[in-house]
Amino acid sequence: MKTINRTTLFLILTFVITYLLTGIYKLSGGDITNRIGFTVLGAIIMFIPTISVIIVKKYIHHEKLKTDLLISFKINKWFFIAWLILPVIMLFSLGISLIFPDVIYSLEMAGFIKRFESMLTPEQIEQMRNSLATLPINPIWLFLLQGLIAGVTINAIAAFGEELGWRGFLLKEFKEMHFFKAAIIIGFIWGIWHAPLILMGYNYPQHPKIGVFMMIIFCILITPLLIYITVKSKSVIAAAILHGTMNGTYGISLMLTDGGNDLTVGLTGLSGFIALTVVLIFLFIYDYFISKEKILINKINNYL
């Protein structure tokens, strides 16, 4: 009963604080076009799961944080896999997008720029277009380098704010479940948690309402990879690096395209869903036939 109460309290705190902050921001006139305000809001929200974990475990249940929640900086090969796998998935998603009949290759990145039209002023859009045009090399390589650097630095710190809750606390709470059952539940919860930001136009500016359901699907698809990296590395820090690099390189999945929409192209669109599904198939093949540990078909507790 203690575990149920602890998990429920964590979820109540996380959702109430998140929804309350976004509600206040919205009622005070804030929206996604206010880039500074929305960025600050998003940064604060990313740390709410960690704040909730600290309240529940340290101040209510007086439990350990570091060892209980897999906070380990002992680097192993899975840290590097966490850092490098998302750019590969982004490029894979980009390639899948170009197969769609209404999507074409665009060296000028017309589709990428269009995604920001509802979030930026015409002057800002024109400034973005001019900035991209004056770069000495294709922007995709600069995005990649910038995303990789951010993925292990500032983005990883922000992503840790989420990961300590989702792949730290909840993973431990659901450790008696089989891998995929825990992944689906955590992914579903994580997806719903994004709802207020999605409804304001984040990730799916063209379809914010449908975007809520799309985000839930995306979170369910990406969560097995995040959990697998966490379990293999024995560290939630590796999950934060994967999450941070994903946020830093997200634009790659949209670049060099024109056409489609936010439901079809990009990592959080249909092309990304297909890419992630293929990755999960390969992950299962690796885990079942190559790895000594059979994590995907057993209870998580066997490997934590």
Helix axes 270-285, 77-97, angle to 10 degrees: 140
Rounded to 5°, the CA angle 236-193-237 comes to: 10
pLDDT, one tens digit for every residue, the chain (304 residues): 444 589 999 999 999 999 999 999 999 999 988 889 999 999 999 999 999 999 999 899 888 888 789 999 999 999 999 999 999 999 999 999 999 999 998 877 777 777 777 667 777 778 877 777 777 777 888 889 999 999 999 999 999 999 999 999 999 999 999 999 999 999 999 999 999 999 999 999 999 999 999 999 999 999 999 999 999 999 999 999 999 999 999 988 888 888 899 999 999 999 999 999 999 999 999 999 999 999 999 999 989 8
**pLDDT value at position 118?**
64
Amino acid at 288: Y
CA-CA distances (angstroms) from residue 103 to 208, 254, 256, 257, 265?
Answer: 21, 11, 10, 6, 8
- State the distance between the two ends of the chain, measured CA to CA, in whole angstroms: 22
Phi and psi torsions of 138, nearest 5°: -60, 130
**pLDDT value at position 4?**
55
State how far the Cα of 115 lies from the Cα of 133, in Å rounded to an integer: 17
Please list the helix, strand and coil fractions of the chain in percent, rounded to the nearest 5, in that order. Answer: 70, 5, 25
**pLDDT value at position 114?**
74
Domain layout of the chain by residue ranges: 67-303
Dump strand ranges (E) for the chain.
Answer: 103-105, 257-259
CA-CA distances (angstroms) from residue 98 to 47, 90, 249, 253?
Answer: 36, 13, 18, 11
At 63, is the secondary structure helix, strand, or coil? coil
State how far the Cα of 254 lies from the Cα of 219, in Å rounded to an integer: 18
State how far the Cα of 293 lies from the Cα of 131, in Å rounded to an integer: 48
Q: Are 99 and 264 in contact (CB under 8 A)?
A: no
At 33, is the secondary structure helix, strand, or coil? coil
At 258, is the secondary structure helix, strand, or coil? strand
At 259, is the secondary structure helix, strand, or coil? strand
Amino acid at 92: F
Token pair, residue 287, equals 């885990």
**pLDDT value at position 2?**
45
Rounded to 5°, the CA angle 163-73-219 comes to: 20
